[in-house]
Amino acid sequence: MRTRGFTMVEVLVAIAIIAVLAALGSSAVFAGLARAKQVHCTNNMRQIGVALTAHAISNNGFFPETTHTVAVNKAWIAALEDEMGPNYDELRLCPADPFREERRERGGTSYILNSYIFVPEIGPFGEELSSPCNNMQCIEEPARTLMAFIVSEGQTVEATMDHTHSRGWTRSWENVLRDIQPDRHRTGRPNDDHSRGSANYLFIDGHVETWKASDVKRRIESGENFAEPPHLREDA
């Protein structure tokens, strides 16, 4: 009895099915890895929040300063080394940051602080228009006030990049993208306006939220500057 072989069509169909199954499996693996990195990043930000609060408690309520006002070796990420303990090098770097090793070598961080809280407002002639609200006692709504973001991959990897310029974010998605990476957690390549994916956001009270980049973009374009503390907003 002759054994019937496979036709070319059957072979091609089988190859196509295998390819589809492999692609589906790869997508699931990549999605799982991205999710694991996001969870790791969330934990990092929570620990940074704990360290910032511990520093403030030990310093009459004052948070550490940024490189806007002090040298790199005295700025917040260096000042928190003792509070962050033996995992300091890992906690200051997001596992999804493509430049984490460069930042590690230069003493930098994947996370940057909200300039509304940590940096004075400077006028066009270099004059200080307002002082930063960098004391725990002046934060009126810590659960609604943002403390830290994930740094933009378009920014320098030097340790001097440790704070935003968020007063300039209002209605400017381009300015947001200069400072932070709203699509840090995603699978695949970014789209042109970086509105696909999500990122983590640390609040003063220590909790972390994950926001879709598309929602963040919509809020900015509607005129909302979500980095602004609630007590400074006209609609608060």
Q: In Å, what is the CA distance from 34 to each residue of 31, 94, 184, 214?
A: 5, 12, 10, 18
Confidence grade of residue 226 (pLDDT, cut at 50, 70, 90):
very high
Confidence grade of residue 80 (pLDDT, cut at 50, 70, 90):
very high
Q: Which helix (H) or strand (E) holds 56?
A: helix 8-58
Strands 198-203 and 146-150: what pairing? antiparallel
Which pLDDT does position 6 carry in this prediction? 55
> 171, 188, 196, 175: which is closest to 29 by C-alpha?
188
Q: Which residues pair with 111 in a beta bridge?
A: 150
Torsion sign, CA atoms 36, 42, 48, 51: negative
pLDDT at residue 23 tops 80: no
Spatial contact of 104 and 87, defined as CB atoms under 8 Å apart: no
pLDDT digits 0-9 by tens, 172-219: 999 999 999 999 999 888 899 999 999 999 999 999 999 999 999 999
Confidence grade of residue 121 (pLDDT, cut at 50, 70, 90):
confident
Which pLDDT does position 90 carry in this prediction? 93
Amino acid at 217: K
Whole-angstrom distance, CA of residue 54 vs CA of residue 16? 57
pLDDT at residue 158 tops 60: yes
DSSP-derived 3-state class of residue 122: strand
pLDDT at residue 53 tops 70: yes
Mean pLDDT, residues 17-40 taken together: 68
Confidence grade of residue 159 (pLDDT, cut at 50, 70, 90):
very high
* pTM, entire model: 0.85
Whole-angstrom distance, CA of residue 222 vs CA of residue 207? 25
Whole-angstrom distance, CA of residue 27 vs CA of residue 34? 10
Which pLDDT does position 34 carry in this prediction? 76
> 58, 153, 59, 76: which is closest to 114 by C-alpha?
76
Mean pLDDT, the chain, as a whole number? 87
Whole-angstrom distance, CA of residue 72 vs CA of residue 61? 21
Mean pLDDT, residues 44-59 taken together: 95
More confident residue, 236 or 156: 156
Residues 6+ apart with CB under 8 A from 97: 103, 110, 150, 151, 153, 184
> 162, 210, 146: which is closest to 184 by C-alpha?
210
pLDDT digits 0-9 by tens, 128-154: 667 778 888 889 999 999 999 999 999
Whole-angstrom distance, CA of residue 10 vs CA of residue 119? 67
Which pLDDT does position 28 carry in this prediction? 57
